[in-house]
Copies of this chain bind each other. A is one copy, B any other.
Amino acid sequence: MNLTGNLLIGARDVGATAGTMQALNPATNLKLAPDFAFGALDEVDRAAQLADEAFDSYNNTSLAVRAGFLERIAEGLDANAPALAQRAALETGLPAAQLEAEAAKAAIQFRQFAAVVRQGRFRQATIDPAQPGRQPRPRMDHRMQKIGLGPIAIFGASNFPISYSVAGGDTASALAAGCPVILKAHNAHPGASEIMGRIIQQAVKDAGLHEGVFSLLRGDGVAIGEALVDHPLIKGVTFTGSETGGMALYRRAQQRPDPIPVFTEMTSVNPTFVLPIALFERGGEIGDGFAERMLVNVGQACLKPAILLAIDGLGYSQLKQAMIARVSAMQARTMLTPGINHAYLRNVERQLAAGAEEIAAGATPAGEWDGQSFLFEVDGARLLEEPALLEEVFGPAALLVRVKDDEQLVAIARRFRGQLSATMHIERADHVLAARLLPILERRTGRIVINAFAHPQEVSYASIHGGPFPATSDSRFTSVGMSAIERFLRPVCYQGFPDELLPEALQHDNPLGLWRLTDGDLSKA
C-alpha cells in the first residue's frame, strides 16, 4: 500500500490544509517519508456532516451486512499485516513480530464483533405484549431495542499502535453498534494509521455503505481534537491516553450545550498483592513473573503491573532478589516518543523524591530516548504518608512495597484510586485474607486477577478493561471485550406499533431468531 499522507474524509483523499508533519523513527531519531497532512476545522466539519448523513442508513443496516463489513476490515488487516507491522515498527520502535501479533489480534477483534452483531443480543430486544384486559387500565404493546448513539469521535492511542489505534477495539465496537466513526489519528504513528484507515475506507466501499461511515483526521496540536469534541453532530467520544489529556477532553465535552458521553481510559498502577503463604511458597517465581510483565512494551502499557505489595516475612527476600535480577539484566530500549521518555524521567525523579529507594537499575541508555529500567522499594508506613507513590510511572519502572502486616496491607489497599486491574497471588491458606481484600478491590478495580499477571488483555465476553476513576471516566463501561459495544448504544421503546413499522429485531415472529426478553422471560420465541 502506497502511503500518500492524505486525510481520509469519507471516500475522498484530502491533502494538507493546515501544514504537514513527518513521522519520526524513535530508534534512529530520523524522519520518515512521506509528509502527512494536517487538517483544519473545515475537515472536521465535513467529516462530521458525512458521518451524520451516514447514520440513518448505517444504523439500519441488517445484522448480516454490518457483520460482513466488519469481516471485510478483518480480511484487510490480515492481508496487510506484514506491511502494517513493518511501518508501525519504524514509527514506534516496537518489535515487528510483536506488531504482527497485534495486527492479528486486531483482525480477530473485528471478527469477534462481527459475531456479536450476528448474534444480535446487543439489541437487547425486549417485549411486553399488550394486556387489553388488565385492570385498572389496559396495557399497550411495548417493545424496546438498542440502536446506535450517533457519530463517534475516537482518539487513537500511542502505545499499542494497531489494537488501540485506528483499527482498535473502540472502532470495532462503535462500528458494531451502528455508529459512524471519525478517527483522530495519533501523530506518533501516522503511516500505520493511514494503512489501517485505508483498509477501513476500502471496506466501507466494498460493503456498499455510505462513505460517511468512516473518516480519518490528523491535526497539529489540540485544535482538531477539540473541534471534534465540540462538534454538535458528534454524539460520543472515546480516548485512551494520559489522565491530563483524557480529562481535558472529558470536561470539555461536559461543557457543551448538550453534553455527550466520553469514555476515557487513562491511568492505572495495577497493584499486585502477594499474600503470605504464596510469598513463602513461590516468592522468587512471583517476583520474576512480575518483573517480566512490568518490562513488556518498555513498560508502556495500561496494564503494566507497577506496584507490588508483600508482607515482609518468609519469601520476601527471594521475591525481591528475583525482581532485582531481572530488572538489572534489562537492556534500555527505545520509548514510543520523546515526550513519553521525558515524562518517564520526571516521574522516576518524583518517586525518588517521595522516599522510594532505588534497588535495581537496568543497563544505561545508548539511544537518546531509550528508557532505563528501575526498581524501587519503600516501606508500607512511608507509602501511607505519601500518596504520590501510588501514582503511575508510565515506563519500565516499578515499586516494591515492604508491608508490615495484614492490617497495613488492608490500609494500603484502601488508598488506591480506581484501577483497571488488581492481582492477588494466593495459596489455599491465604483465602481468608484474600476474602478480606476482595470487597476493597471490587470497589476500586474493573478486574481482579488471581495467580497470574494482568497483561496481556483477553478479548472475550467476560473481559473488562475499565474501572473507577481515574482508570476510566465511567466505571459502568469497558473499552475491551464484547461489552465495549454498550458505550455506543441507547434504548428506544416502540409502543403500539403495527408489525410492518417495527424494526426487524422486534417483529412478532422474530424473523432474526434473536434471544428476546418477553414479559421478563428470556426465549427465542
Contact = CB atoms under 8 A, between A and B. Distances in A.
B142 A492 contact: no
Interface string A424-443: 00001001001100110011
B450 A493 contact: no
Given A128-B462, A501-B438, A496 B259 contact: no
A492 B448 contact: yes
A476 interface: yes
Interface string A463-505: 1101011100111101001110011011111111110110000
B127 A462 contact: yes
Contacts of A60: 439
Contacts of A446: 490-493
A482 B258 CA distance: 26
Which of A259, A498, A515 has its CB near the most chain B CB atoms (within 10 A)?
Answer: A259
Nearest to A497: B450
A460 B128 CA distance: 7
A149 interface: yes
A149 B469 CA distance: 12
B55 A519 contact: no
Contacts of A143: 462
B128 A443 contact: no
Nearest to A475: B490
A26 interface: no
B469 A491 contact: no
B462 A142 contact: yes
B519 A461 contact: yes
Sorted nearest first, the 5 A-B pairs with minimum C-beta distance are: A254-B254, A464-B493, A144-B462, A142-B462, A447-B493
B439 A476 contact: no
A258 B470 contact: yes
Contacts of A450: 494-498, 501
B519 A522 contact: no
Which of A434, A438, A482 has its CB near the most chain B CB atoms (within 10 A)?
Answer: A438
Contact of A254 (B251, B493, B496): B251
A140 interface: yes
A147 interface: yes
A142 B456 CA distance: 13
Given A56-B443, A254-B254, A446-B491, 8 more contacts: A140-B458, A142-B458, A149-B475, A251-B254, A431-B500, A449-B495, A450-B496, A461-B520
